Amino acid sequence: MGLNVYAPASIGNLSVGFDILGAALSPIDGSLLGDSVSIESSTTGDFSLQCVGRFVDKLPADPKQNIIYDCYLAFRKAMADMGRTDEVAVSMVLEKHLPIGSGLGSSASSIVAAFYALNEHYGKPFSEAQLLAMMGELEGQISGSIHYDNVAPCYLGGIQLMLERDGRISESLPVIEDWYFVSAYPGISISTAEARSILPNHYSRADIIDHGRYLGTFIHALYRGDGQLAAESIRDVVAEPYRKQLIPGFDAMREQMMADGALAVGISGSGPSVFVITDSKEKAEQMHRWMQANFIQNDRGFSHVCQIDTLGTRVLEETA
């Protein structure tokens, strides 16, 4: 029996919660914005990985350099640690729909889809919390330090707040139902590890106070269902001031979106994708068209009107 698992794109940080907030996204036109992984028992007895899809060309040529292979090794080791050593290997197919270094949680999407598929395939040996811990570790292997703000929303859906306590890595926050997100990827690549390395090691007291106030207000406003206050609190004093120069036209884009009635604008993850929040579908569609005409740099770029994906990672198809 085979399975096809889909893991949605995500916005790390949501501007106001560096490494501690993240949201999963679904395009409102029903298209899938995320990687998917198919899995079945290997007929040769060896592990195999085939990669297909629009953004496959920037993946490492050797399947054993793909993060999916590391997920497989980590999963097998964890099963061996629980005494399951005689399991049959698997054949996997990765459909790479998220560009690498896009700020849309591309590596997280592959990692989450792979672990979810492996767990389903081998009869769910691990709990949600155990899987999430493994996903975070693999994400940390890529970006240089463990951060759950992509893997958690990608896996669990919604807006996730990282608690990082034993057994409670992340918890869902309330979602503002009428928020539309325009998610625009300009078509160039930024390495997460490099975008982390340019950030300061220390911040001023004023920045720390602002950061605490904005994040606290954001979470308070979500629980009150006050979308206006929540959006006004989406301000980034930690990363955007340092990362925005890596994104061509960022300031002009922000100015235009605010003039067009955006509730909030920010960098998606470590960029170069950006997100815009509005409470009107019509405005979101107008902003999406502006992004297509003005922000996207080349034919690899794209823009989508999205809402929060509350489902998270799921099985799309089971085959006999």
Ligand X SMILES: Nc1ncnc2c1ncn2[C@@H]1O[C@H](COP(=O)(O)OP(=O)(O)O)[C@@H](O)[C@H]1O
Ligand Y SMILES: N[C@@H](CCOP(=O)(O)O)C(=O)O
Rule CB under 6 A: which residues touch ligand Y? Answer: 12-13, 18-19, 103-105, 147, 149-150, 192, 195-196, 239, 269-270
Cβ(259)–Cβ(276) under 8 Å?
no
Complex with ligand X: residue 59 or 222, whichever CB lies closer: 59
67 binds ligand X (CB under 6 A): yes
110 binds ligand X (CB under 6 A): yes
Complex with ligand X: residue 66 or 278, whichever CB lies closer: 66
13 binds ligand X (CB under 6 A): no
Q: Cα dist. 105→10, 88, 143, 208 in Å?
A: 5, 30, 11, 26
Cβ(7)–Cβ(313) under 8 Å?
yes
68-87 residues in contact with ligand X (CB under 6 A) are: 68
Complex with ligand Y: residue 54 or 289, whichever CB lies closer: 54
Radius of gyration of the chain, Cα coordinates, nearest whole angstrom: 19
- Closest listed residue to residue 240, CA positions, set 23, 26, 33, 12: 12
**Min dist. Cβ of residue 196 to ligand Y (A):** 5
CA gap 216, 304 in Å, rounded: 29
Between strands 159-165 and 168-173, the pairing is antiparallel
Complex with ligand Y: residue 24 or 92, whichever CB lies closer: 24
- Closest listed residue to residue 312, CA positions, set 102, 75, 34: 34
**Min dist. Cβ of residue 194 to ligand X (A):** 8
| Phi (first) and psi of residue 88, to 5 degrees | -75, 140
**Min dist. Cβ of residue 318 to ligand Y (A):** 29
User: One symbol per residue from 35 to 64: x for binding ligand X (CB under 6 A), - otherwise; what is it?
Assistant: ------------------------xx----
Q: Which of 40, 191, 213, 246 binds ligand X (CB under 6 A)?
A: 191
**Min dist. Cβ of residue 224 to ligand X (A):** 33
Sequential DSSP letters for 112-170: HHHHHHHHHHTT--S-HHHHHHHHHHHHHHHHSS---TTHHHHHH-SEEEEEEETTEEE
Side chain identity, residue 255: E
Known binding residues for ATP are 99-109
Known binding residues are 99-109
Residues of this chain that interact with ligand X (CB under 6 A) are: 59-60, 66-68, 94, 100-102, 106-107, 110, 142-143, 191-192
